[in-house]
Amino acid sequence: MQAAIRVLMFLAAAAIAFSQSFTSIDGRVTDPSGAAVSGAAVELTNVDTGLKRSTVAEGTGLFSFAQVTPGKYSLTVKAPGFSVKTVSNLQLLVNTPATIAITLEVGAVTESIEITAQAPLLEAASSQQLLR
């Protein structure tokens, strides 16, 4: 009976130690006027390991990452119509939840122009260019 109690106490202590090995980060994504940016893609990257986690901001602009291993992180937020925002050097500590407010700036409209070049036509017999 005492052996079973010792095992249970050990497992309980291990569970407590394990649960304290993580942290969390949450925040809110807004535009310059303070309005929520719904659907913003949020990516959390561990700088040391390269491990990436992603989520999407809710309708109120809120996002959350639970059970994050402590360490140095960068946070990147993207949304259509806004410039990409990256926050570097986020130091997340054990059992110390972090909260961050992200304000996205309105991005410039970009245009894409595709140019396809054609080689000029040659007359096979004389190697002269033909006019179109």
Does position 70 have pLDDT exceeding 80, yes or no? Answer: yes
Does position 81 have pLDDT exceeding 80, yes or no? Answer: yes
pLDDT value, residue 26 = 96
pLDDT digits (tens, 9 = 90+) for 8-28: 555 555 555 555 699 999 999
Does position 80 have pLDDT exceeding 90, yes or no? Answer: yes
pLDDT value, residue 14 = 56
Sign of CA dihedral 64, 68, 70, 75: negative
Confidence class of residue 53 from pLDDT cuts 50, 70 and 90?
A: very high
As a three-state string, the secondary structure of 44-86 is EEECCCCCEEEEECCCCCEEEEEEECCEEEEEEEECCCECCEE
Written as six digits, the tokens of 18 are 């394990």
* 21-132 under CATH 3.40.47.10, yes or no: no
Mean pLDDT over the full length of the chain: 81
Which candidate, 35, 78, 42, places its Cα nearest to that of 59? Answer: 35
Taking residues 26-51, report their average pLDDT.
97
pLDDT digits (tens, 9 = 90+) for 97-122: 999 999 999 986 443 333 334 444 44
